[in-house]
Structure 1
Amino acid sequence: MGNSNSALQQCIEEVGRSRIGFAGFPSSPLTFQGIWVRPYNLDVKVTPAAVVRPRTAEDISSVIKCANTNNVKVQAKSGGHSYANYGLGGVDGAVVIDMINFQEFSMDTNTWLATVGAGTRLGDMAKRLHDAGGRAVPHAACPGIGIGGQATIGGLGSMSRMWGTSLDHIVEAGVVTADGEIRRANSSHNPELLWAVKGAASGFGIVTDFVLQTHPEPGSVVQYQYAMAFGSQSEIAPYYKAWQDLIAKPDLDRRFGSIFIMMPLGALVVGDFYGTEAEFEASGIQNWLPKGEHRHIVLTDWLGSLVNGAQNEGLYLTNLPAPFYAKSLAFRREDLPSHEKIDRLFRWVDSQHKGTLLWFIIFDATGGAIGDVPANATAFAHRDKVLYYQSYAVGLPLLQASKDFITNFHLQVLEACPEAFGTYPGYVDPKLAEPQRQYWDANLPELERVKKLWDPMDLFHNPGSVLVQ
C-alpha cells in the first residue's frame, strides 16, 4: 500500500485497539476478498481500502474521522446485496462500514414501535417481530437482505401494495454523519436528514438503527403459483397480457401482490393474497390468472408465507454470490406496453441468442398503498408506478452474449414504452445513464440541496449516490 493507505490503516487499527475481527485490509490478500469483502456480483471487481466491522456508533464515528483525514470515501454494507457491489463502494478505494454487529432489537408494546439494528437480515427481523407480539413490516422476500439497505432505498415486497414500502414505516433513525457526529433523525430533530435517509441514505450517512412502525400480522395468507411450460415465449404472451391487464386495474385489491417471471421454456406467476381463501375466491382475481394442471395454491400463515416467498425468489436470483448482469425500468399505468407491443417483445425474445440458460425477465406489480404517500414526502420518488421490470443473466462465466441480450431487451422495452422513465434505486445498474435522475426523479434537486448541508465533501459516495453539485 501507498503512504496514504498505510496512514488510513494505522488510524483504523488505533480505533479498533487491536480487537480481533475489527478490520481487514488489502495488505492481507489471502483473507481480504474471501472473508472481509465478499462481493455479491462476481462480475463487478471492487477492492476497498478497508472493511471495518464496528460494534458501536462511536466506532463508526472514529472510522469516519479516519476517512476524512485520509480523503477516502465511505459506504455502509448491511446485507451486501447490491447488484453492482455499491455497499463496497462500487469502485476501488473506499472504507466499507460492515454493519453485521448491529443486531439490536426491541419492541415497545404500548406503541408497537420496533427498534431494529441496521445490520439485521430481513429473515431475522421477521422472526423477531413475530416473536415480539405477532408484528410485521413490509419488505422483500429474500431473507438474507439487510434492513440497512432495504429500508433506505425503498423496501418493496409482495405486501407493499397493502402496506407501502419499508421506508414509509421509519419513524426515527440513528445516523452517524460526515462530521463524525452521532445523531437521531426524526420529525422533530434533523427532519431533513430523515427525509434523505428514507430513500437515499448511501449519500448521507451511516444508519445504525431504525425505529419502525409495525402492523399486526395477517391471520391468513393465500400463496399461489402458476407454471406455464411452452416451447416459445410467443406462446406465453397471451398469459402476460391478461396478467398485465389485471395488475393495471385501478381498483385491484391491495391485499394482492404478484410477479410474472419469464424464463427459458416457460413462465411463472407467483405471489400472495393477504386474506382467507374465501376472500381470495370472492375477489375474482383467479378469473384473470392462468388455469390448468400447473396451478398451485397454498393457504398458510404469515411466517410460512415468508418462507415460501423466499423459496420462490430463489427460483430466479440466488442469495449466493455469482456473476450476473441486470437491467430494469419502472412504469406508470399510462406507460404500460399495448397488447400488440407485448406480442412483439415476446417474439423478439424468441429470436435472440441468450448465451446462458440462466436468464430471467421479471415483472413486479406495485402501486396500491405506495401511491398514497406524496412523491416529495420522502426521498423515494416512484409513487406513481404500477409495475417494475427487471432482467437478469447469470453465467459461469458471464458471456458478452448474455449481457447483449439483456441490454438489447431493455432497448426494445424503451422503444415500446418511450414515456417510461426511472427505476427503483435497489435495482442498481452501473451502466445506467444519469442514475441519480432515474433513481430520484423530481426529488433530486432537493436531495442535492440537503447533500450540501450534510455532506459537502461527498464523503458518502458510490457511483449511483446523490452527489454534491
Structure 2
Amino acid sequence: MSVMEVQRMQSDIWIRCLRVLILLGSSHLQSSYADRILPADSRRLAGAGNLTTCLATAKARTAFPGDPEYERTRTYVFNHRYQYAPAAFVFPTTVAQVQNAVFCAVKLRIGIAPRGGGHSFEDYSLGGRDGAIVVDMTAFTDISYNKAAGTVTVGSGFRLAPLKLALWNVGKVTVPCGTCPTIGVGGHALGGGWGFKSRKFGILSDNIVEAQMVTANASVVTANAIENADLLWALKGAGANSFGIVTQFTFTVHDVSAPITHFSYDFPQSRQAETLKAFQIWGQGAVAEVTASLYLDPSGGNSLSGDYLGPSTDLNAVLKTFMDKAPASSKQTIMETDFITNVLIESGFSQDANPSVLNLQNYTYPTVTFKAKSILLHAPGLCDDGIKTFISTLQAGSSTIGYVLVDLFGGSASVINQIPPEDCAWVHRNTLFNIQMFTSWQNNNISQAHKDITSINKLWRAVRAYTSGSEAYQNYIDRDMPLSAYYGSNLERLITEKKKWDSQNVFHFPQSIPVR
C-alpha cells in the first residue's frame, strides 16, 4: 500500500469519526472509590442555605455563572443547538462528592445531570434545560483489570480512546464500543454503545456485568446479577440519568491480540441505490467477525467502511456477497494492523503515532450546531421501492444534510441479535441496521436551520413509510421521538424500576424514564 493510500484511509476514517462526533471486579478499584463514600445522612448538610454553601461542604471544585471555567465548560459540548445554562458545574473526584451534589439537588429542588463526554445529541448532558446541577465525571478514570475473571472495572469518566489504550496496555483486551475517541464511556454504555466490533462482542451495554450508582437519596448501591439485578437490567440500555449517577462499571473484556483488517471502498455517485441494496442483502448473512457502515450523502457520496476481526487474506471471502451485488468500487483501501494501530487510525491519528496520543492530552474535539435522527430497520431491510424513495428523497433534500450512515447491527450471525429483547433494557434485538441522518448549520442561521430540519424530517418520514415499526437508537437521541421508539416492550418495566429507585423523579430530562 502506498503512503498516499494510507493517508487517504486515515483521512476517510477521521471524516467518518467527525461525522459521528459532530452529529459524533477488582478490589483495588473498589477500595480507591469505596473508602471515600459517605453515608446518605441528610443531617450532614442541614444548615446549607443555598447552592454555593451546600456544594462547598464536600470541597469539590465547582464553576458557577460568571466564572471563566463555567462558560468554557458550558460550551464544550458537541451540539451547540441549545446552549443550556446550568446552575453550576461540579467536578467531583470522589463518590462522596457525587453524593453531596445529589443531596444538594434534592434539598434545594434543583435538577441534576451527570456528564461524561458531553456528546448527547440533544444536550441532555447539560440537563436538557436551564438551571440544573451538572456533575462532570471526567476525573473518574481509575482502572483495574481482572485477568482471571475476564473483566475490567473502570471509572465512568473514561473517554473511549484512553479506555482502549489502557485496556491494550494491561492485557491486549478491549470492550466493544464506538470509534470516535472523545465519547464518554458512561452515556455510551448506558444507551447501547455500538461500534465496529459489536457484531462479534455485542454492544457495550451487553458487556456491563456490574455498576456502582449514587441513588436519588444520595446512597450508593451496587447492581449486578445477584445484588439489585433489576437495576442492572434497567441500566443496560436506559441508564443515562433516569435512575441515578453511575460512578463505575465492570465490563466483560475481549481478547484483541490477533491482527485486525480495516477496509474502505468508494462506489460511483450515481449508484447509491445499488450499493444500499447490496449492503442489506450481504448484512443478513455476514459473519460475526465483520461490522461495517455505509455512508451516503445528497451529492452522491457512496462508500463502505468497517473492520474484520481477521487477516486481510480472508477479506474477499467475507465481503464476496456484497461485492458480487454492488457496483464496482472506484477506490479501495485495505489495511491489516494490530488492534491499537487500528484504534489510532480510526481515531484520526497517524498509524505511526505513539499510542500515548490516545490519552487525548491537550486535545480539543470539534463542536457544531446540528439535528440528527435515527431509525432501526428489521431484516430484510427496505424493499426496492423503499430504497428508491430513500435515495431520491436524500438527493432532493437540502445540500446541507451532511450525511446518512447505515450501520450494520444485526444479521443471523450477530451477537447483538442473539440476546432476547427482555434480557436487558436495550430492546432492539431484531434489527438489521440503523440509519443515522445528520444535518448541521451555522449557529445563528435560523432560516437555514428551519430548511435543514424540514429536509431531514422529510427524509426520515420517507424511510419510515417502508418500515414495520418506529424504533430508534437511544444513543442518537432525538427529542421528537416517543419513548416507545427507544424502549419498546421494555418501557413499562422501566417505569416500574423508575418508581422503585427514583419515585420523586430527581433524575429527569425531556426523554427520561417517567414516574407514572
Give the TM-score normalised by structure 1: 0.90
Looking at structure 1, the residues matched to 475 and 148 of structure 2 have their Cα atoms a distance apart, in angstroms, of 33
TM superposition shift of 1:57? 0.7
Aligned to 1:246: 282
Match of 1:344 among 389, 408, 411: 389
Residue 445 of structure 1 aligns to a residue whose secondary structure is helix
Q: Which amino acid aligns with 1:451?
A: K
Distance 1:236 1:379, change over 3 A: same
Match of 1:66 among 104, 109, 112: 104
Residue 15 of structure 1 aligns to a residue whose secondary structure is coil
Aligned to 1:10: 53
Whether 2:471 is the aligned partner of 1:430: answer: no
- CA contact under 8 A between 2:74 and 2:84: conserved in structure 1? no
Match of 2:328 among 265, 282, 291: 291
Match of 1:359 among 395, 398, 402: 402
Q: Which amino acid aligns with 1:266?
A: G
Aligned to 1:315: none
Residue 452 of structure 1 aligns to a residue whose secondary structure is helix
Residue 272 of structure 1 aligns to a residue whose secondary structure is strand
Residue 51 of structure 1 aligns to a residue whose secondary structure is strand
- CA contact under 8 A between 1:226 and 1:290: conserved in structure 2? no
TM superposition shift of 1:431? 2.1
Alignment of 1:48-87 (within 5 A): 48-87=86-125
Looking at structure 2, the residues matched to 462 and 111 of structure 1 have their Cα atoms a distance apart, in angstroms, of 36
- CA contact under 8 A between 1:219 and 1:275: conserved in structure 2? yes
- CA contact under 8 A between 1:260 and 1:268: conserved in structure 2? yes
TM superposition shift of 1:130? 0.5
Distance 1:68 1:121, change over 3 A: same
TM superposition shift of 1:116? 0.8
Distance 1:90 1:157, change over 3 A: same
Match of 1:137 among 172, 175, 182: 175
Aligned to 1:215: 254
Looking at structure 2, the residues matched to 38 and 430 of structure 1 have their Cα atoms a distance apart, in angstroms, of 21
Looking at structure 1, the residues matched to 203 and 230 of structure 2 have their Cα atoms a distance apart, in angstroms, of 19
Match of 1:225 among 264, 286, 292: 264
TM superposition shift of 1:47? 1.0
Residue 100 of structure 1 aligns to a residue whose secondary structure is coil
Q: Which amino acid aligns with 1:308?
A: I
Moved more, 39-48 or 54-63: 39-48
List alignment gaps of at least 5 residues for structure 2: 1-47, 350-363
Residue 489 of structure 2 aligns to a residue whose secondary structure is helix
Looking at structure 2, the residues matched to 197 and 211 of structure 1 have their Cα atoms a distance apart, in angstroms, of 13
Whether 2:361 is the aligned partner of 1:327: answer: no
Alignment of 1:40-439 (within 5 A): 40-201=78-239, 202-230=241-269, 235-247=271-283, 249=284, 251-263=285-297, 264-283=299-318, 284-285=320-321, 286-311=323-348, 319-334=365-380, 336-354=381-399, 356=400, 359-367=402-410, 368-397=414-443, 399=448, 400-417=450-467, 419-432=468-481, 434=482, 436-439=483-486
- CA contact under 8 A between 1:366 and 1:387: conserved in structure 2? yes
Looking at structure 1, the residues matched to 112 and 238 of structure 2 have their Cα atoms a distance apart, in angstroms, of 15
Residue 226 of structure 1 aligns to a residue whose secondary structure is strand
Looking at structure 1, the residues matched to 167 and 328 of structure 2 have their Cα atoms a distance apart, in angstroms, of 36
Looking at structure 2, the residues matched to 243 and 187 of structure 1 have their Cα atoms a distance apart, in angstroms, of 38
Looking at structure 1, the residues matched to 316 and 266 of structure 2 have their Cα atoms a distance apart, in angstroms, of 20
Looking at structure 1, the residues matched to 115 and 49 of structure 2 have their Cα atoms a distance apart, in angstroms, of 23
- CA contact under 8 A between 2:438 and 2:456: conserved in structure 1? yes
Moved more, 297-306 or 436-445: 297-306
Residue 350 of structure 1 aligns to a residue whose secondary structure is helix
Aligned to 2:513: 466
Distance 1:77 1:322, change over 3 A: same
CA deviation profile, 1:49-90 (whole Å, cap 9, x unmatched): 111110111111111111100111211111111011111111
Aligned to 1:446: 493
- CA contact under 8 A between 1:25 and 1:51: conserved in structure 2? yes
TM superposition shift of 1:29? 5.7
- CA contact under 8 A between 2:198 and 2:409: conserved in structure 1? yes
Q: Which amino acid aligns with 1:350?
A: Q
Aligned to 2:30: none
Looking at structure 2, the residues matched to 46 and 6 of structure 1 have their Cα atoms a distance apart, in angstroms, of 25
Looking at structure 2, the residues matched to 446 and 10 of structure 1 have their Cα atoms a distance apart, in angstroms, of 38
Moved more, 405-414 or 7-16: 7-16
CA deviation profile, 1:178-236 (whole Å, cap 9, x unmatched): 11001211112111111111111120111111111111115121211112353x5xx32
Looking at structure 2, the residues matched to 325 and 6 of structure 1 have their Cα atoms a distance apart, in angstroms, of 40
- CA contact under 8 A between 1:37 and 1:51: conserved in structure 2? no
Residue 465 of structure 2 aligns to a residue whose secondary structure is helix
Looking at structure 2, the residues matched to 306 and 288 of structure 1 have their Cα atoms a distance apart, in angstroms, of 30
Looking at structure 2, the residues matched to 43 and 37 of structure 1 have their Cα atoms a distance apart, in angstroms, of 10
List alignment gaps of at least 5 residues for structure 1: 313-317
Query: How many correspondences in the alignment?
Result: 444
Q: Which amino acid aligns with 1:210?
A: F
CA deviation profile, 1:130-152 (whole Å, cap 9, x unmatched): 11111111001111011111111
TM superposition shift of 1:126? 0.5
- CA contact under 8 A between 1:58 and 1:182: conserved in structure 2? no
Q: Which amino acid aligns with 2:279?
A: W
- CA contact under 8 A between 2:151 and 2:250: conserved in structure 1? yes
Q: Which amino acid aligns with 1:361?
A: V
Looking at structure 2, the residues matched to 303 and 370 of structure 1 have their Cα atoms a distance apart, in angstroms, of 24
TM superposition shift of 1:10? 2.1
Q: Which amino acid aligns with 1:340?
A: D
Moved more, 321-330 or 396-405: 396-405
Q: Which amino acid aligns with 1:275?
A: G
- CA contact under 8 A between 1:329 and 1:420: conserved in structure 2? no
- CA contact under 8 A between 1:225 and 1:295: conserved in structure 2? yes
Give the TM-score normalised by structure 2: 0.82
CA deviation profile, 1:70-117 (whole Å, cap 9, x unmatched): 111211111111011111111112111110110111111222211111
Q: Which amino acid aligns with 1:254?
A: A
Residue 234 of structure 2 aligns to a residue whose secondary structure is helix
